Amino acid sequence: EENAERHRQKMESLGRMMGGVAHEINNMLQPIGVLAEELIISNLVREAGRQHLDVMLECTEKTKEIIAGLLAFSRPGVREVEVVEPAEVLADSLRLARQAIPVNVFVRTEVAGVVPRIAVNRTAFSQIILNLLTNAAAAMGYRGSVRVTLNEHLVVESGHARIVRRPRYVRLRVIDTGCGMNRETLDRVFEPFFTTKPIGQGTGLGLPVVYGLVQEMRGIITLLSEPGQGTTVTILIPVHEDAPDRVGADRTALAGVTA
């Protein structure tokens, strides 16, 4: 409990600090990219110089990506929240993610019949899916299949005389059969900039961003990983309080959507 609170505070101040830095860098980056692009399309620069400019442009694009990650991480609490059908935002998110993950990675979706509604920001939800699928794809060497499951999570509360089972959370899982993680990696994955990927490939911001977004949803994230076996990321998202316990049976039609 105390540990979680300390972690939250640390992430919050780190987030604020990085947000400021990210803005400054972004401002400086803008003209570099624009000017490099202008030189490339002008005929002022010869072939060899052009190749250098291409590299420069590529680097500014990569930096922009890192900055976008930093900004997502540093802007907690200002996102607009909508009450949504989990299966529907998931399908939407998978459509978006599909563009970014390699074709040899299949995504199998399993939606268990009826899933209660949740209050989330759509963009945040999509970002979570994208980051988790990107990691899963990388862990599997960019081929294989990832399972994404969605179901209601019943919390069993035992009182004196009875056992109450209430759907308190919607459970989202991303399950891969990739390289998995050892203890040291697992202990550090939520640390900003921690990465085991080669320079230029990982930013080390994927999971910290996911962590921050899940916190914003008042959700819970857990990782289960076995080296050589794979990784399961589980996210519990609180059910929207005003939502009825069960959505109509017609919603089951959404089950089994595949990206």
Dihedral sign (CA 240, 242, 244, 248): negative
CB of 211 to ligand ADP, least distance (A): 9
Does 128 sit near ligand ADP (CB under 6 A)? no
Identity of the residue, 9 or 229, whose beta carbon is nearer to ligand ADP in the bound complex:
229
> Residues 6 or more apart from 228 whose CB is under 8 A from it?
179, 180
**Which residue, among 184, 108, 114, has the nearest Cα to 152 in the 3D structure?**
114
- Name the segment binding ligand ADP (CB under 6 A); options: 39-47, 75-83, 196-204, 239-247: 196-204
Return the structure tokens found at 225: 């990983």
144: left (phi over 0), alpha (psi -120 to 50) or beta: left
Does 195 sit near ligand ADP (CB under 6 A)? yes
Number of other residues whose CB lies within 10 A of the CB of residue 128: 26
CB of 123 to ligand ADP, least distance (A): 18
d(CA 165, CA 153) in angstroms, rounded, equals 10
| Among the listed residues 15, 116, 180, 219, the single contact to ligand ADP using CB under 6 A | 180
What track of x and - describes contact with ligand ADP for positions 203 through 222 (by CB under 6 A)?
xxxxxx--------------
Whether the Cβ atoms of residue 206 and residue 65 lie closer than 8 Å to each other: no
CB of 146 to ligand ADP, least distance (A): 9
d(CA 115, CA 170) in angstroms, rounded, equals 7
Does 231 sit near ligand ADP (CB under 6 A)? yes
CB of 179 to ligand ADP, least distance (A): 5
Identity of the residue, 82 or 216, whose beta carbon is nearer to ligand ADP in the bound complex:
216
Does 63 sit near ligand ADP (CB under 6 A)? no
Kindly list the residues in this chain that would bind ligand ADP in the complex (CB under 6 A): 131, 135-136, 139, 176, 178-181, 185, 189, 194-197, 202-208, 231
